[in-house]
Amino acid sequence: MKQVRLLVGTRKGGFVLTSDGARKDWKVEGPFFAGWEIYHMKGSPVDPDRIWASQSSGWFGQVLQRSDDGGKSWAAAGNKFLYEGEAGTHQWYDGTPHPWEFKRVWHIEPSLTCADTVYAGVEDAAMFKTTDGGATWTELPGLRNHGTGKDWQPGAGGMCLHSIVINPEDEKQMFIAISAAGAFRTDDGGASWKPINKGLSSKFLPVPTAEVGHCVHHIAMHPSKPKTLFMQKHWDVMRTDDSGENWTKVSGNLPTDFGFVIDVHAHEPETVFVVPIKSDSEHFPMDGQLKVFRSKSGGNDWEPLSRGLPQKECYVNVLRDAMCVDRMDECGVYFGTTGGQVYASPDGGDNWNAIVRDLPAVLSVEVQTLP
Amino acid sequence: MELPLHLVRLAGVSGHEVVLEVNAAPVTVATVLDALDAAYPMLEGTIREHGTQQRRAWLRFFVCEEDWSHHGMDAVLPEAVVNGKEPLIVLGAIAGG
């Protein structure tokens, strides 16, 4: 029988949750790296027992951990993230130039074809790559240097590169998103990049349809349809069918199109999940009712899913990397909250249950489907 | 030298104190930290910023009951620290939640 392994990053440590194919009973292990913020944990698709964890601390900076036995033991990997050349400046909140300063790794994206190759999205926004299993990291400087980098400005959560999506049909094509700069694409493995924000509109920008400056919260792709991506933006849920060249709004009948997470069903590339929250200044579900919304038509027509989720006095948030889907025959969907709950649906979103409910605030949730 | 709990765990040592052999003269804050990084590579970057090699802002250094946080990395340590009678203490500032 297949197994699933959930990798949960929280404000105060990392946790590994395992279950069999039924996904009813869960074993919770952790906290690993207790007291550290674990922004992201992710396993290699090539070698699922190789798992990465990004731990950071206001006191001690960034440490990157690697496990080669499925999370049972860990060892520190290289943690030297230095920008290439003269780092230069970007805009600060007040519009003045501010030096580029490395703070932490927000997102780890292992290569689809090589266990020793991993990409890291960092704050201040840049993309790094290792090809030696994490011993050394080098920046892909074409992203910051493509022309608009000096105009990027941090959002409320910092200027982080938080989303990395690799085209499974062509690993040289990758999509990334930066808060609050927007989405970018490379077609040459990270040497050169272009902004892909046409169709996005952000009222807070002097020019709402500007080339960069949009606050993209997350992007997602189904592996069988790599030209189609879905985006949860600061406001608006968006879709592209031409690899990001053009985006259209698919918020449709959502009660609010503000949110952080978005993900695609494992077997149905037109089935999409979001968790709307009330507004950009009220980061909690409407009316205290936690609901996942699912579209089976690639957007616009959304249905609320609430069976098993708290429907009163619930004021948690679901952060940008805190939703994922497994690859079991019946797709499992998972998300974690700032209230420390991790919810699972073993049936594509129809029914939910809390598999653990008193963790520190959840920052990220990833799942591995194991033989 | 004496390390805070998180770095003790990261280095996988027991207790808060580590004894270091410093093959440099004079013995300074920087040469002690160099010796620490060499003995425990997983700690590299956690006390000093990778790029600037400066003390991380939320950490403090104490020596012989004095705050040495602003003495600079090239400050020569007292004999009591050099001969191992007193530790160079790295302490996390009281902050956070």
Q: Is the pLDDT of residue A180 over 60?
A: yes
Contact A59 B45 (CB under 8 A): no
d(CA A68, CA A259): 34
pLDDT at B93: 86
Between the CA of residue B7 and those of A36, A71, B13, B16, what are the distances in Å? 11, 20, 9, 9
How far is the alpha carbon of A59 from chain B, nearest alpha carbon, in Å?
Answer: 5
Is A60 within 8 Å of B56 when comparing Cβ atoms?
A: yes
**Residue in B with minimal Cα distance to A84:** B51
In the structure, what pLDDT confidence band is assigned to residue A281 with cuts at 50, 70 and 90?
Answer: confident
Tokens of B28: 């300074």
| Backbone angles phi and psi of A307, in degrees to 5 | -65, 110
Residue A60 and residue B44: Cβ atoms within 8 Å?
no
Q: How far apart are CA B15 and CA B64, in angstroms?
A: 20
Instruction: Give residue A146's pLDDT band: very low, low, confident or very high (50, 70, 90).
Output: confident
Cβ within 8 Å, pair B47-A57: no
Task: Evaluate if pTM is beyond 0.90.
Answer: yes
Q: Which of B7, B51, B96 sits opposite A58 (nearest CB)?
A: B96
Segments in chain B below pLDDT 50: none
List the single residue in A with minimal CA-CA distance to B42: A76
Sequence-distant (6+) residues with CB within 8 A of A99 are A87, A88, A89
The ipTM (two decimal places) reads 0.94
CB A54 within 8 A of CB A76: no
* pLDDT tens profile B52-74: 999 999 999 999 999 999 999 99
pLDDT above 90: residue A326: yes
DSSP B63: E
Q: Which one of A54, A59, A81 makes the best mutation probe of the B interface by having the most chain B beta carbons within 10 Å?
A: A59
Closest residue in A to B40 (Cα) is A76
Determine phi and psi for A271, rounding to 5 degrees: -100, 120
Per the CB < 8 Å rule, is B46 touching A60? yes
Mean predicted lDDT score pLDDT of chain A: 96
